[in-house]
Structure 1
Amino acid sequence: MHRNAPRPASTNRRALLGTGAAMGIAALSLWPDARLFAQQLGDFIEGPPMPDIAPQQLSKHVWLIYATDGFPTPENRGMMASVIFVVTSAGVVVLDSGSSLQIGQMAIRMIKKVTPLPVVAVFNSHYHGDHWLGNHAFVQAYGQQLPIYALPHTIEQIRGVEGNLWRNLMERWTNQATAGTQVVPPNREAVPGQVLKFGDVTLKLHHYGRAHTPSDLCVEVVEDKVTAVGDIAMTNRIANIDDGSYPGTFKFYAALKAAASDQLWVPGHGEARRDLLATYGAFLAGIWEPCLQAVKDGKTEGEARAMVMKDPRVASRAATMQGFDSNIGKYISLAYLEAEKEAF
């Protein structure tokens, strides 16, 4: 949807309701429960439906609803992270539920095109909202008792500041297209190394320390040799590593490859690839290794940046990687700061 295109009927209705709401809230400003009224009204208003995205079959049991964009905009309505689902004889298991109520609802429509079986479980890879805000749609459709799994630290973060922070950020980034989405935290603690059976499919849970975040959960579909890796690796997008670690990521990759062996690695952002950990790992190493060497040689951060930008593992991705120009400086700084701690 282009910015100057006619606004959908639901958007016009939202604008009209918003005007009326503003007048009503002003009139009720002296009421002690005015804030509660505003909150309830905000939850009532919903953004427009997410257009359907046909799922792609990756293997016998695994399907992908692919997000082409790496960052949220009003035009893509927050569809920035892929939704993966696994069709088992016992029902459907969803691996990351999307960025909003509307995206989750779209995912449910697409699942129903593939199978009449209900969704029986959801897994959230980590606490960044583009991977779990769709939980709202799944509990809306399948009930509050639907098992939603995540690592304990992820659950803690979503129940805390990260939950409403991500909800508000997504609304702002999409010009309210995700309005109406509620924070629904996971309700089951995932355990690293845990093996779960869903009918004819076995899922194995992997976590090996801090990588993209302190609590990244990778889910291996054992029979298909397919593993959903969340955001620990991305195909052609520079990843947020503000909460993560460069050396931690390399250690995670090594442990995951040792535990799962050859896999089709499916990221939250980008295409599934068998060489994903190798290719994205090489890019990250092209940032990390020059920064670590610069620190050891007593060079400044500016000198480290120049070294990184000349590294062929980084330079070869500069023209094509999503978000490169706007993010590379920040992630060089993060690498340099972590290298200082690592070196000393």
Structure 2
Amino acid sequence: MKRRHLILASTALGSAALWPEARLLAQQTQEFIEGPPVADIPAKQLSAHVWLIYSPDGFPTPENRGMMANVIFVVTSAGVVVIDSGASLQIGQMAIRMIRKVTDKPVVAVFNSHYHGDHWLGNHAFVKTYGDKLPIYALPSTIEKLKGAEGNLWRSLMERWTNQSTLGTEVVLPNTPVQHGQVIQFGDVSLRMHHYGTAHTPSDLCVEVVQDKLTAVGDIAMTNRIANMDEGSYPGTFKYYKALMAAAGEQIWVPGHGQPGKDLLQTYGDFLAGIWAPCLKAVEDGQSEAEAKLAVLKDPRVSLRAKTMQGYEGNIGKYISLAYLEAEKVAF
């Protein structure tokens, strides 16, 4: 803001107790600096230790203020562990309010499943509340990716997509690397790290809550949203699912977008196979991408979800193209 505006705002803040108009101006000034708060979404208990703050929307808009990804938290005897902190300071603050309705224990750790901003920009709220020594865990490749311009790019994109609703969010990077197979103990709860190569991105961390037979899978699978595959791999995703299911066994799979379920990897895997298999066959048969697209759109694994899947119309063509390009690499 210009210097004159800052002086006016400061005067209004000092006199807020005296005039309702000044109090309103102070509120508006704060909202300009930080963006408005996000409406509360009560947490739902999924298992003995795990709670979910569910996002019904799969994409950011001015109306949802960037609330597009689930926030998961685990209540342990040592404190609360958060898995994916949301897309903004404001979403993180809302999550903290919801956590406090469940328990008075402090947040002792945060995990970021990968480097897309809707899963980690809320780190700011947790560090602001619990201090900059708070461990924020992620794969080393996620940390490296966000050290450059990527972190600020996601902050700027979220502001643009939400018409500045996330303004005030600062880039707070994960500070503690984890490795595949690592088990971290938080009081009475063990968290096991899983990473089996490229699926949604090259840096997808899945966090298994061992005692609850529940695994947070980030964006490698989604319930009813077509996933971004720009940096991903179709065969890599199938390989990841197979390895994860073999290692963890039967689980409640909790996605970054959508409702949890024991059949999530199977149902979303079927959808992705409905894109991948026709594209691979088309390439092997010497058919064009246009012919592959027609085959995909007719495949029942895909067509049955066309009317209900979030982002389907705007994205299915792109992800068929990505599958076809990857199929060409695999086939040749």
Runs (4+) off by over 4 Å: 17-22, 41-44
Matches within 5 A, 1:29-108: 45-108=33-96
SS in structure 1 opposite 2:34? coil
Aligned length: 310
Look up the match of 2:26: none
- Cα deviation, 1:185-227, whole Å, max 9, x if unaligned, reads 1000011100011000010000000000001000000000010
SS in structure 2 opposite 1:45? helix
Amino acid at match of 1:227: T
Structure 1 counterpart of 2:153, from 157, 165, 176? 165
Look up the match of 1:235: 223
SS in structure 2 opposite 1:322? coil
SS in structure 1 opposite 2:72? strand
Structure 1 counterpart of 2:204, from 206, 216, 219? 216
Give the CA deviation at 1:229: 0.2
Q: TM-score, normalised by structure 2?
A: 0.91
Give the CA deviation at 1:161: 2.2
Amino acid at match of 1:260: A
Structure 1 vs Structure 2: percent identity of aligned residues?
74
Structure 2 counterpart of 1:180, from 163, 168, 175? 168
Unaligned runs of 5+ in 2: 7-28
Amino acid at match of 1:230: G
Distance 1:42-1:290 versus aligned 2 partners, 3 A rule = farther
Look up the match of 1:193: 181
Amino acid at match of 2:118: D
Give the CA deviation at 1:162: 1.5
- Cα deviation, 1:80-112, whole Å, max 9, x if unaligned, reads 000000000000000000000000000001101
Measure, in 2, the Cα distance between the counterparts of 1:43 and 1:52: 17
Is 1:281 aligned to 2:269, yes or no? yes
Tell whether the 8 Å contact from 1:294 to 1:300 is kept in structure 2 after alignment: yes
Give the CA deviation at 1:19: 11
Amino acid at match of 2:177: E
- Cα deviation, 1:228-258, whole Å, max 9, x if unaligned, reads 0000000000000101000000000000000
Structure 2 counterpart of 1:129, from 117, 120, 136? 117
- Cα deviation, 1:46-86, whole Å, max 9, x if unaligned, reads 10011111000000100000000000000000000000000
Look up the match of 2:19: none
Look up the match of 1:109: 97
Measure, in 2, the Cα distance between the counterparts of 1:264 and 1:99: 24
Amino acid at match of 2:265: L
Q: TM-score, normalised by structure 1?
A: 0.88
Structure 1 counterpart of 2:255, from 259, 267, 289? 267
Range with greater deviation from structure 2 (43-52 or 84-93): 43-52
Distance 1:20-1:273 versus aligned 2 partners, 3 A rule = farther
